[in-house]
Structure 1
Amino acid sequence: MEIYLIRHTIPKIEKGVCYGFSDLELADSYNEELQTLSEKMLQLLHKKKSKNKEQKELLIYTSPLQRCSILAKDLKTALKDYFHSIIKTDKNLKEMNFGDWELQKWSDIKEKELKKWTDNFVTAFTPNGESFENLHERVTHFWQTNIKSEKGKIAFIICHGGVIRSILCHALEIPLYKAFSISIDYGSICKLKVFETHTQVEFTNR
């Protein structure tokens, strides 16, 4: 099974603001970013187009937050000549819940609270939020429930930076505390292949 992890495009929010669960709108540059991302996906999937023009099935899993769900619908439209796409929304693909810190400037968060979290973000909870370990548990549940080693199947997972890092940690058995050593840009793509015995990462952050 081929899996494409796609991070959403730039959200409409001031730089330096903490956000995760918040349902942000898309930046004014969205249409341009969508065009670029669509072209990249068409290049990556061009060989998948059947010679007899029979459409293959594409599974599109998406976070319910609009910065992902809108992208899922638009990519489905962009690939309609190549695939019959099915969109499945899953709340386990939402970004980390920062609780009381949501939509606060990082610089306005109390230094003592922030240090307590950054020193051990894997297991430390944000106030009324969750830890990265919590996110990883729900993301792993999504993966184990939905992703199988089915030959010829192709799936997109349109989600968030934290979720993609969590999936890569799970696939490669990387300790969670190293998750943010992996760069995941807005609108970037990672490709995985799922086999019965293991998961192979072909590329990241393309």
Structure 2
Amino acid sequence: MTISIDLLRHGVTESNQRYCGSTDYPLTQLGWTQMWHAVNSQSTQWQHIVTSPLIRCADFAHALGQRYSIPVSQDDRIREIHFGDWEDRSSAELMHTDADALTRFWQNPRDYPPPNGEHLLDFEARVLSAWKDIQQQFCGKKVLLITHGGVIRMIICHILRHPLERALDIDVHHASIRQVRIDHAETYRVTFDPDSSV
């Protein structure tokens, strides 16, 4: 039996260019437009939507569910990574105050997490816990996961056996969709938006 899970990153938010893992900024009007464009370009008829509880994902998830009568559930485990002391700060600001730490993080986020932030291994564990449960709960169905760039990177790293320390090499554009098809033998097939790369 095959399960189909589409991974949709939220659109542009009012905090664009800032590290906002747990900081709860809404989508901009452009972000909403991006999200509707992304889902309207898909032919898949989803049977369930699973969303991060953060409003940049959840608000759109509930609007989409209401429009097409698709049930929606929230899973706290697919919220974005918490950036600790870097929450709600931009890279430009951090280059003035914490340049060495920021550079190390960009080069290897697994070994150099943000100060007081969530460790990448802990983040990976909670995301993959949700990923496993979602596959079991919705076996044989078509599911849309509305979540964050970091969460999608963790799932892609897991599927493609991509080194976790190189997770930031994976581009995840706003409102981009990755389609994952998993058969009964747990063989994965992943397709990407034309403008995205691994």
Q: TM tier, shorter chain?
A: 0.7 to 0.9
Question: Which one of 5, 8, 13 corresponds to residue 6 of structure 1?
Answer: 8
In structure 1, list runs of 5 or more residues that go unmatched: 49-56
Q: CA deviation at 1:113?
A: 2.5
Check 1:199–1:158 CA distance in 2 against 1; reply closer, same or farther (3 A cut). farther
- Quick check: 2:111–2:165 contact (8 Å CA) kept in 1? no
Higher alpha-carbon Rg: 1
Q: What does residue 54 of structure 1 align with? A: none
Give the deviation of 1:133 after TM superposition. Answer: 2.1
Which residues in structure 2 correspond to 1:34-183 (within 5 Å)?
A: 34-41=35-42, 44-45=43-44, 48=45, 58-80=47-69, 85-109=70-94, 110-148=98-136, 152-183=140-171
Q: CA deviation at 1:152?
A: 3.5
Give the count of matched residue pairs.
189
After superposition, the Cα gap between the structure-2 partners of 1:199 and 1:180, relative to the gap in structure 1 and judged at 3 Å, is: farther
One-letter amino acid matched to 2:6: Y
After superposing the two structures, state which structure 1 stretch, 23-32 or 196-205, moved more. 196-205
8 Å Cα contact 1:92/1:142 also seen in 2: yes
Q: Quick check: 1:93–1:142 contact (8 Å CA) kept in 2? A: yes
CA deviation string 1:115-139 (max 9, x = no partner): 3433431133311111222211110
For residue 149 of structure 1, report the CA deviation from its aligned partner.
Answer: 8.9
Q: Is the 8 A contact 1:61 1:88 kept in 2?
A: yes
Q: Distance in 1 between matches of 2:190 and 2:99?
A: 39
User: Normalised by the size of structure 1, how large is the TM-score?
Assistant: 0.82
Identify unmatched segments of 5+ residues in structure 2. none
TM-score (norm 2): 0.85
Identity between Structure 1 and Structure 2 (%): 28
1:77–1:40 CA distance, 2 compared to 1 (3 A): farther
Equivalents in 2 of 1:137, 1:168: separation in Å? 14
Distance in 2 (CA, whole Å) between partners of 1:150 and 1:18 is: 32
Shift of 1:104: 1.3
The code of the aligned residue for 2:28 comes to A
